[in-house]
Amino acid sequence: MTGDIEQSSRVRFPGISSRAYEHPADRGALAVLRAVPAVGPIIKAVAAAFSERGERLVQIASSVRVGPKQFPDLHRLQNEVAAAFDLQEVPELFVRHSPLVNAQTRGIDKPFVVLSSALVERFDREQLRWVIGHEMGHAMSGHGLYNTILDRLLGLRYTMGWNPAGTFAMRAVIAALYEWQRKTELSCDRAGLLAGQDPQAALRVHLAFAGDTGGQVDIASFLEQAKEYEGEDIRDSILKLLDNEQRSHPLAVVRAAELQRWAASEEYREILTGTYPRREDDHPTNNLADDIKGAARSYKESMSSSADPLIKTINDIGETVMGAAGKMWSKVAPNGPAE
Using CA atoms, how far apart are residues 99 and 132, in angstroms rounded to an integer? 19
Cα 305 to the center of its chain, rounded Å: 22
Which letter does DSSP use for residue 97 in this model?
-
Beta carbons within 10 angstroms of residue 260's beta carbon: 19
Does the active-site annotation cover 135? yes
* Active-site residue identified among 55, 92, 135, 185: 135
Using CA atoms, how far apart are residues 250 and 186, in angstroms rounded to an integer? 8
Mapped onto helix, strand or coil, the DSSP state of residue 115 is: strand
Provide CB contacts within 8 A for 32, sequence distance 6+: 176, 180, 292, 295
- Residues written for the chain: 339
Phi, psi of 16 (to 5 degrees): -65, 135
Using CA atoms, how far apart are residues 147 and 177, in angstroms rounded to an integer? 8
Closest CA to 172 of 38, 35, 28: 38
Strands 112-116, 92-96: pairing kind: parallel
| Residue numbers annotated as active site | 135
